[in-house]
Amino acid sequence: MSDFDWGVIVRSWSFLAEGMALSALLVAVATIGGLVIGFGLALMRLSSNRLIASPAAAYVTVMRSLPLVLVLFWFYFLVPLAIGRPIGSLASALIAFVMFEAAFYCEIIRAGINNVRQGQTEAGLATGLRRSQVMRHIVMPQALKAMTPLVLNQIIIVFQDTSLVYVVALHDFLTTASIVAARDGRPTEMYTLVAVVYLIICLSSTKALELYRKGRAG
Amino acid sequence: MIVLEDVHKSYGKLKILRGCSASVKLGEVVVVCGPSGSGKSTLIKCVNGLVPFEQGSITVDGVSVSDKKTDLPMLRARIGMVFQNFELYPHMTALENVSLAQIHVLKRSRAEADARSEKLLARVGLGGKLASRPSQLSGGQQQRVSIARALAMDPKAMLFDEPTSALDPEMINEVLEVMQALALEGMTMMVVTHEMGFAQRVADRVLFMDGGEILEDTPKAQFFTDPATERAKQFLTKVLTH
Amino acid sequence: MNYRWNWSILLQEPYTEWLWSGLQWTVAISLVSWAVALSVGLGVGVVRSLPSGILRVIAGVYIDVFRNIPPLVQLFLWYFVLPEIVPETIGLWIKRDLPYPEFVTAVVAIGLFAGSRVAEQVRAGIEAVGNHLMPAALATGLRPMQAFRLVVVPLGLRAIVGPLTSEFLVTVKLSSLSLTIGVLELTAQSRHIENYTFQGLEAFTVATIGYLVIGLCVTGLMRLIDDRVGGAALRRAGS
């Protein structure tokens, strides 16, 4: 057992910070893109037209059945093929994350919308509002409120998910740390650091979210 | 004003309505009663097209509800509806609840709509609750807001779907009084309710439903003294002894 | 899109064998991890729903820590860090003599992560039932521990068959992480075939179908179980 050398963290600090910045970028893009596409998918799934609802349902089911690692490989392979020229692994990973998380956000949004009682829609329709107006003024505001904690929770999960870009060699926080670990022969220090940093960020976010939930309920 | 002819409705194999015909004339108050599961609520929701039906026809003020060419939202705007569970929008104040459709359907300005809402809320005795959220109001108050919300569209007729059955007993009267005042002003009303006292005071006619059929369509006086069917007699005995 | 399809590649040796062996590893890791997750999760979840005590606190810490570190990081901790921080003899044993070290490590890491998730489900299920039935059980004269053991826990566990199905499927998906430490499971093998043949579309499609089929089987099986025990729970709660 070698002696620990925590100085390796200080020496590689800026490299690790760049990794963390990439992780943050992935979270931001996956969340914003995922919410937008997820909202579209949710509207499709809620359609009474089966030709619209079924493809969205199939997409969501398949995405949710696959490991993110496989999805990353899929897009790593498919995106350049579809575009017809090589494209950086970052772009592929961003697209993969957006398309993967969209399936999860879709289900959160759909549940939020379904949670609004049918009677609310009926009441809106009964006053002469059109379906789109009922959606915008009555259903969505209530659905948004119900889904906010779930979306925030999903963002924490996405943050954890981003560590998987390791498999396509993108330099996120975990990957930069693993590069340092291998280069300097300091796996213990580096992986402990990664675990502690993730733990602090995710645990404090989770606890803050719990407080927010309780505050809203009470 | 409202004419139903041979309306059929089923959910899958379950037949809810089996050929219902009835009419409500201008200025008339018609009470619909019957045991639970008899199809009353479904029937009244067919009138403004909230529940689509397979067969038969309903016209309101000469406009067919089931005709694909009918602008259903515009038709609904002319018929007020009050729900069993109030269905006030929980994220809006009482005032906003009443103003919403005025702004988006009747295209009134917010100031116009709010002025009208204030008047109506005052009329149902809630002039002091304009800024309250539904969660801050009692059941009776919520139901009165929802009546104001329906009246805000200047409806030609009002539909009430068991407006008092979700209320605590002490709040039932405040809602019935508002409804009674409306009836006296000559509003055309179709009311699903178990409140036989209300029917006796206000109704012109009573429809009695059971098993998805309208078994009786009789003037009020006759319904309470001499109902035609055995089932209506049983129903009255049960309801009136309470 | 300019792509030369060649589905027959999948029937050529050694690729068929690769995929088949990958599928077997995926199933093996999923099942053994699930056994770990279920036993740890049930124990921790029940302890976590106890009214008080040091065990309850420990269970809470376990759930918090394991749920809030990405599973891949946990895998690396078990694989790279653990042998370095334990006493030297044990570390050497792990490195040299542990049979199937990657498989064992993957199973431990995935099992303990999934276990923390299962524990949360168990706790939630017990709490939901407990809030309802605890007063009734106490009113019949049962002592709190008896009520907990005889009424709340058995019913709570029946109530969570559905959520546990999703957790098992999460575990199946997690099994793919083991490719990072060299286990050639389904995803890894499909990637390999892509690297060797450039027929990624075919290889990834097979892997995708593999996961979908596993998912369908699991869902079907669990639905059967849920009908058995869930129906029973409903009947009991209703009567």
What is the secondary structure of A48-61 as a DSSP string? S-HHHHHHHHHHHH
Tokens of A162: 């981003």
Rounded-to-integer distance, Cα B128 and Cα A27, Å: 48
Rounded-to-integer distance, Cα B46 and Cα A18, Å: 62
CB of C180 less than 8 A from some CB of A: yes
Tokens of A124: 């809106």
Task: List, for residues A23-35, the tens digit of each pLDDT value.
Answer: 999 999 999 999 9
Measured between its terminal Cα atoms, the distance across chain B in Å is: 34
Rounded-to-integer distance, Cα C105 and Cα A95, Å: 31
What angle do helix axes B139-151 and B110-123 make, rounded to 10 degrees? 130
Among A214-218, B223-227, C50-54, C105-109, where is mean pLDDT lowest?
A: A214-218
Return the closest-CA partner of residue B204 out of B1, B31, B79.
B31
pLDDT > 60? residue A1:
no
Percent over 70 (pLDDT), chain A: 99
Indicate yes or no: CB of A195 within 8 angstroms of CB of C71.
no
| B chain contacts of residue A127, beta-carbon cutoff 8 Å | 76-77, 80-81, 100-101, 105, 149-150, 153
Rounded-to-integer distance, Cα B69 and Cα B72, Å: 9
Identify the pLDDT of residue C233. 54
- Shortest Cα distance, chain C CAs vs residue A61, angstroms: 9
Q: Identify which of A128, A138, A142 has the shortest CB distance to residue B74.
A: A128
Q: How many CA atoms lie within 13 A of C195 on its CB side?
A: 7
Task: List, for residues C26-68, the tens digit of each pLDDT value.
Answer: 999 999 999 999 999 999 999 998 888 899 999 999 999 999 9
Determine phi and psi for B32, rounding to 5 degrees.
-110, 125
Burial category of B189 from C-beta neighbours within 10 Å (exposed 0-12, middle 13-18, buried 19 and up): buried
What amino acid occupies position B23? S
CB of B81 less than 8 A from some CB of A: yes
Per-state percent for chain B, helix, strand, coil, to nearest 5: 40, 25, 35
**Test the B interface: residue of A116, A118, A121, A127 with most B CBs within 10 Å:** A127
Tokens of A139: 């259903």
Rounded-to-integer distance, Cα B189 and Cα B204, Å: 10
Burial category of A87 from C-beta neighbours within 10 Å (exposed 0-12, middle 13-18, buried 19 and up): middle
CB-based contact B72:B49 (threshold 8 Å):
yes
Indicate yes or no: CB of A178 within 8 angstroms of CB of C76.
yes
pLDDT > 50? residue C234:
no
Rounded-to-integer distance, Cα C147 and Cα A166, Å: 48
Q: Identify which of A117, A123, A127 has the shortest CB distance to residue B153.
A: A127
Tokens of C239: 């009567």
CB of A121 less than 8 A from some CB of B: no
Q: How many CA atoms lie within 13 A of A13 on its CB side?
A: 4
Rounded-to-integer distance, Cα B39 and Cα B210, Å: 7
**What stretches of B163-222 adopt beta strand conformation (E)?**
188-192, 205-210, 213-219
Assign C235 a pLDDT band (cuts: 50, 70, 90). Answer: very low
Rounded-to-integer distance, Cα B225 and Cα C213, Å: 68
pLDDT > 90? residue C74:
yes
Per-state percent for chain C, helix, strand, coil, to nearest 5: 85, 0, 15
Tokens of B176: 């019935």
Identify the pLDDT of residue C131. 77
Residue B48 CB coordination number (10 Å): 26
Indicate yes or no: CB of C69 within 8 angstroms of CB of A199.
yes
Identify the pLDDT of residue C230. 66
Task: Give the nearest chain C residue to A70 (CA atoms).
Answer: C187
Question: HEC string of B11-78?
Answer: ECCEEEEEEEEEEECCCCEEEEECCCCCCHHHHHHHHCCCCCCCEEEEEECCEECCCCCCCHHHHHHC
Task: Give the nearest chain C residue to A156 (CA atoms).
Answer: C68
Return the closest-CA partner of residue C154 out of C224, C41, C85, C230.
C230
Return the closest-CA partner of residue B117 out of B107, B127, B104, B106.
B127
Q: Identify which of C73, C77, C174 has the shortest CB distance to residue A163.
A: C73
Instruction: List the 50-79 stretch of B: residues with Cβ below 8 A of A.
Output: 50, 73-79
Q: Identify which of A78, A191, A199 has the shortest CB distance to residue C65.
A: A199
CB of A167 less than 8 A from some CB of C: yes
Instruction: List the 32-71 stretch of C: residues with Cβ below 8 A of A.
Output: 64-65, 67-71
Identify the pLDDT of residue B90. 95
What's the maximum distance between 2 C-alpha atoms anywhere in chain A?
76
Instruction: List the 127-166 stretch of B: residues with Cβ below 8 A of A.
Output: 146, 149-150, 153, 159
Determine phi and psi for B30, rounding to 5 degrees.
-115, 125
Rounded-to-integer distance, Cα A115 and Cα C167, Å: 23
Every domain of chain C and the residues it spans: 8-238
Chains that touch C (3 or more CB pairs under 8 A): A
Tokens of C56: 């309850």
- Shortest Cα distance, chain C CAs vs residue A74, angstroms: 7
Residue B134 CB coordination number (10 Å): 20
Indicate yes or no: CB of B77 within 8 angstroms of CB of A125.
no
Q: How many CA atoms lie within 13 A of B161 on its CB side?
A: 26
Overall CATH class of domain C8-238 = mainly alpha
Return the closest-CA partner of residue B10 out of B20, B23, B2, B1.
B20
**What stretches of B76-171 adopt beta strand conformation (E)?**
79-82, 157-161
Q: State whether the Cα torsion C62-C159-A107-B133 is positive or negative.
A: negative
pLDDT > 70? residue A2:
no
Task: List, for residues C175-222, the tens digit of each pLDDT value.
Answer: 999 999 999 999 999 999 998 888 888 999 999 999 999 999 998 888
pLDDT > 90? residue C145:
no
Identify the pLDDT of residue C43. 95
CA distance to B42, B121, B158, C51, C155, per residue, from B151 (Å): 22, 10, 8, 53, 50
Indicate yes or no: CB of B150 within 8 angstroms of CB of A141.
no
pLDDT > 70? residue A136:
yes
pLDDT > 50? residue C238:
no
pTM over 0.90, yes/no: no
User: Hey, which residues does B59 pair with through a beta bridge?
Assistant: B3, B64
Q: State whether the Cα torsion A207-A209-A213-A216 is positive or negative.
A: positive
Q: Look over chain A and give the mean of its residue pLDDT values, rounded to a whole number.
A: 93
Q: Is B131 helix (H, G, I), strand (E, B) or coil?
A: coil
User: Cβ contacts of residue B51 below 8 Å, gap of 6+?
Assistant: B9, B42, B45
Q: Identify which of A81, A191, A202 has the shortest CB distance to residue C81.
A: A191
Identify the pLDDT of residue B242. 57
Q: What is the mean pLDDT of residues C91-111?
A: 91
Tens-of-pLDDT digits for all 242 residues of chain B? Answer: 999 999 999 988 889 999 999 999 999 999 999 998 899 999 999 999 999 999 999 999 999 999 989 999 999 999 999 999 999 999 999 999 999 999 999 999 999 999 999 999 999 999 999 999 999 999 999 999 999 999 999 999 999 999 999 999 999 999 999 999 999 999 999 999 999 999 999 999 999 999 999 999 999 999 998 888 999 999 988 887 65
Every domain of chain A and the residues it spans: 7-217
Task: Give the nearest chain A residue to C85 (CA atoms).
Answer: A1
| Fold held by A7-217 | MetI-like fold (1.10.3720)
The conformational region for residue C184 under phi > 0 = left, psi -120 to 50 = alpha, else beta, is beta
CB-based contact B83:B33 (threshold 8 Å):
no
Q: Is B213 helix (H, G, I), strand (E, B) or coil?
A: strand
